[in-house]
Amino acid sequence: MSNPTDFFLDSAKPSLLVVDDEPDFAELVEAVAEEVGYDVTVVTDPMRFPLAYRRDIDVIVLDLSMPDLDGIELIRFLAENRGSSALILVSGFDNHILEAARLLAHGHKLPVIAALQKPVNLAQLKEILQTSSRKQAAPLSQSRDRPTEDDLREALANSQFQAYYQPKVSLIDHHVTGFEALARWSHPDKGMIPPGIFIPIAEECGLIDELTSTILSHAFHECGRWARADMAAKVAVNMSARVLTDLSLPERLLDLSRENGIAPASVVIELTEGAVAERLTTLLDILTRIRMKGFMLSIDDFGTGYSSLSRIHSLPFNELKIDQSFVREAPTSHEARSIVETTVDLGRKLGMRLVAEGIENQECWDLLESLGSNEAQGYFIAKPMPAEAVLDWRLDWDKRHV
C-alpha cells in the first residue's frame, strides 16, 4: 500500500483510490488493482478521504455505505472539486440505491465506469480496471495535463478555438431542425481537446467571455452560410452563468445576427440549469430581452441542477433539453425512465419544445419518440462534426430519412 502523499509524486502508473470502511474488501480491491498495474491508495476512514484525494486520481472505488461520511456526500465533494477521476460505485444496499447513486453521479457529470453490488465479483472488477487503465493511457484524459490560464490565452490569441456542430432532428418528421455548436480546442501538439477540459478553466480565470464570443462568431457565421446554401437550420450556442452578467448581451447578439444575415429566431441560446439558480434579477433582465429580440432560449442538462420549478417557469425559456444521463439510461433503468416521462410531461404543460440529448441507439430513439419528445440529439444521429462536414452530412441525412 502506498502512503496518500505518494500521490504527489508523478508516476507513470494509473492511480486508484479505494474508499471503503471494510479493510478486508479494500485489501481485495487493492490486490486486484495492483495486479493490473495501478498505484493504489487505501482509505478505510472516510473522514480521511479529503486528505488522500487529488483531482488527477484516475479511478476511485467508492463504497456508498460508510459511517460518518457516506458515499453520496463524497460524490458531492467530488462534483464540487471538478476532478477527472472515473468512479466505481460499490454497495451492499439494494440495486435501487446503487442506481440512484449512479444517476446522481451522472447528473454531476462524474464518469461512472461501474456500479457493483457486494459481494463483488473480483474477475469482473479486474476486467473493468484493465479496460479503464488502457483508457487512462490516452493523452489528456488526466488532469496532470490540465492546461493553464496562459495556455488558454495563447490559444485564444492564435485562434485555436473552433466549434464542432451536432445535429438536432425532429422526432415527428425526422427533418433536421438545427445544429448545436460545441467548442473545441484544436491544439497543435495534443490534437482536438474537448470542452470539459477547458471550459471550467476559462470560467475560473475569466476568459469565458472571450471564448464565448469566439464560438458565437463561428456559429452565427455558419448559420448564415447554411441559409445561403438553401439549407437553413437553427444554430444553438452554450452559455455559462458567468457570461450572463453583461447587460448588453442581447444587443451584441442582435448585432451579430444582422452582420451574418440571420433571423434571431434561428439562434438558440442554451443555458444550464445551474446558471439559472443564480442572481435572478440580472438574469431576468438579460434573458427577457434576449427573448424579446426574437432569440430562442433553451434550458440545457435539465434534471441535473437544483433550480426550482417555479423559478424555471418564471424565466422565458421555450426549449427544455432532457439531460443525456437520463435519456441514455431510460431504456434500461426504471428510475431514469420515470424522470424522462415526468420531464416530457412538465415541458409539455409549460408549452416548451423538448429535446432529448444522448440518443445513442434505436431503442432510445423509439422510447423518446413514444414518450413525446419533439427533437432528438445524440451519437445515433451523428457525433459533433467540423463545420466543413455539415452540409454534406445534411444532404445525406435528407436523402435517407426525409
Q: Is the CB of residue 215 less than 8 Å from the CB of residue 157?
A: no
Q: Identify which of residues 2 and 160 has a Cβ nearer to ligand C2E in the complex.
A: 160
In the chain, how long is the greatest CA-to-CA distance? Answer: 67
CB of residue 51 to ligand C2E, shortest distance in Å: 31
Binding mask 260-299 for ligand C2E (x = CB under 6 A): ----------x-----------------------------
Which CB atom, from 45 or from 203, has the smaller least distance to ligand C2E?
203
Among 37, 92, 194, 274, which residue sits at the site for ligand C2E (rule: CB under 6 A)? 194
Nearest partner of 223 among 185, 256, 255, judged by Cα: 256
Q: Which of residues 328-387 bind ligand C2E (CB under 6 A)?
A: 357-360, 377-379, 384
- DSSP 3-state helix, strand, coil percentages of the chain (rounded to 5)? 50, 20, 30
The closest of 166, 148, 136 to 14, measured between CA atoms, is: 136
In angstroms, give the least distance from the CB of 155 to ligand C2E.
14
Shortest reach from residue 279's CB to Mg ion, in Å = 21
Looking at the DSSP bridge assignments, the partners of residue 230 are none
Contact 9, 41 (CB under 8 A): no
Of 60, 62, 105, 182, the one binding ligand C2E (CB under 6 A) is 182
Nearer to Mg ion, 300 or 375 (CB): 300
**Residues within window 129-168 making contact with ligand C2E, judged by CB under 6 A:** 166
Q: For every residue of 8-27, which 3-state class applies, written as one string?
A: HCCCCCCEEEEECCCHHHHH
Residue 378 binding partner per list Mg ion, ligand C2E, none, with a CB distance cut-off of 5 to 8 Å that depends on partner kind: ligand C2E
Question: Which partner, Mg ion, ligand C2E, none, binds residue 360 by CB below 5 to 8 Å per kind?
Answer: ligand C2E
What is the Cα–Cα distance from 297 to 295, expressed in whole angstroms? 7
| Residue 268 contacts residue 295 (beta carbons within 8 Å) | yes
Task: Determine contact, residues 132/110, Cβ cutoff 8 Å.
Answer: no
Q: Does 301 bind ligand C2E (CB under 6 A)?
A: yes
User: For residue 350, which phi and psi values (nearest 5 degrees)?
Assistant: -90, 5
Q: How far is the CB of 230 from ligand C2E (least distance, A)?
A: 27
Q: Which residues here bind Mg ion, judged by CB under 5 A?
A: 238, 270, 300-301, 357
* Binding segment toward ligand C2E, per CB under 6 A, in 46-54, 194-202, 249-257, 366-374: 194-202
Whether the Cβ atoms of residue 375 and residue 169 lie closer than 8 Å to each other: yes
**Cβ nearer to ligand C2E, comparing 194 with 305:** 194
Choosing from 212, 260, 298, 333, the residue that interacts with ligand C2E (CB under 6 A) is 212
CB of 180 to Mg ion, least distance (A): 6
Partner from ligand C2E, Mg ion, none binding residue 264, C-beta < 5-8 Å depending on class = none
- 194 Cβ contact list (under 8 Å, min separation 6): 184
DSSP string computed for 158-207: TT-EEEEEEEEEETTT--EEEEEEEEEEEETTTEEEPHHHHHHHHHHTT-
Q: Which does 212 bind (CB under 5 to 8 A by kind): Mg ion, ligand C2E, none?
A: ligand C2E
Residues in the site for ligand C2E, rule: CB under 6 A? 166, 182-183, 194-196, 199, 212, 215, 238-240, 270, 300-301, 324, 357-360, 377-379, 384
